[in-house]
Amino acid sequence: MNRLVVVLVTLLSFTALAGAPGPGTAAVKSANEKISAQLKQKAPPGSQAEKDQAAKVTSSVRDFLDIDELGKRAMADQWSKLTKAQQDEFLSTLRSLIEANYVSGMRANLDYTVDYTGESAGKDGDTIVTTQINTKRHGHPYKIEVDYVVHNEGGKLKAWDVSTDGVGLVDNYRAMFDKIMASDGFNGLIAKMKKKQTETQGAQGG
């Protein structure tokens, strides 16, 4: 899940923007600023205030990331084989897993800035928003290219895929889900996802 953590931490970062933003860039920037403001409100680990803060961050994640669309595309090879009940269970579990990973970034003191480097039209009316994360690795400047695929969902621009250094989250998940489904079936996939969610929440201290 390291790639997911990098992707999600992107939204926790302060941002810089050169020039006037397009609608896709504006949507990503707005999400960044909203969540950054929430994360400035530091709360004692394990406190009710921290739980309330986590709930606000989780709500913001749902407001910006179209996790259902991400999940359907990641399960493209398997989706039609699932019953409606299985589809609903999968999406619910995926939402909980991604949100747990996102909230786990709240305690990380990571020094990032994000530059918006462009916006272009993608396939099927999607918009590609390109960004660059500026950070340090072993004391030296380090850059990570992160691109968002944004679409209109119910009149609101939301991201359904995020690419880190050229590797998309949907493709990454699809390869992992297909492998687990082939060896352990649907129940095995759900079990592994729920186990990972529990481990992530345990690392958060609650």
User: Which residue in 163, 165, 118, 162 sits closest to 142, CA to CA?
Assistant: 165
> How sure is the predictor about 89, in pLDDT bands with cuts at 50, 70 and 90?
very high
Bigger pLDDT: 95 vs 200: 95
Number of domains in the chain: 1
Order of all β-strands in the sheet with 113-121: 14-17, 113-121, 127-137, 140-153, 156-164, 167-168
- Rounded CA-CA distance 129/163 in Å is 10
> How sure is the predictor about 58, in pLDDT bands with cuts at 50, 70 and 90?
confident
- 86: amino acid identity, one letter: Q
Model confidence pLDDT, tens digit, residues 119-143: 999 888 899 999 998 888 888 888 9
Q: What is the CATH number of the domain that holds 46?
A: 3.10.450.710
Model confidence pLDDT, tens digit, residues 109-122: 557 788 999 999 98
Q: For the residues 69-78, what does the mean pLDDT come to? A: 94
- Rounded CA-CA distance 23/152 in Å is 11
Quote the domain boundaries for residue 114. 2-203
Q: For the residues 162-189, what does the mean pLDDT come to? A: 94
Dihedral of CA 116/118/123/127: which sign?
positive
| Predicted pLDDT of residue 14 | 39
Model confidence pLDDT, tens digit, residues 1-12: 455 555 554 444
Strands 113-121 and 14-17: parallel
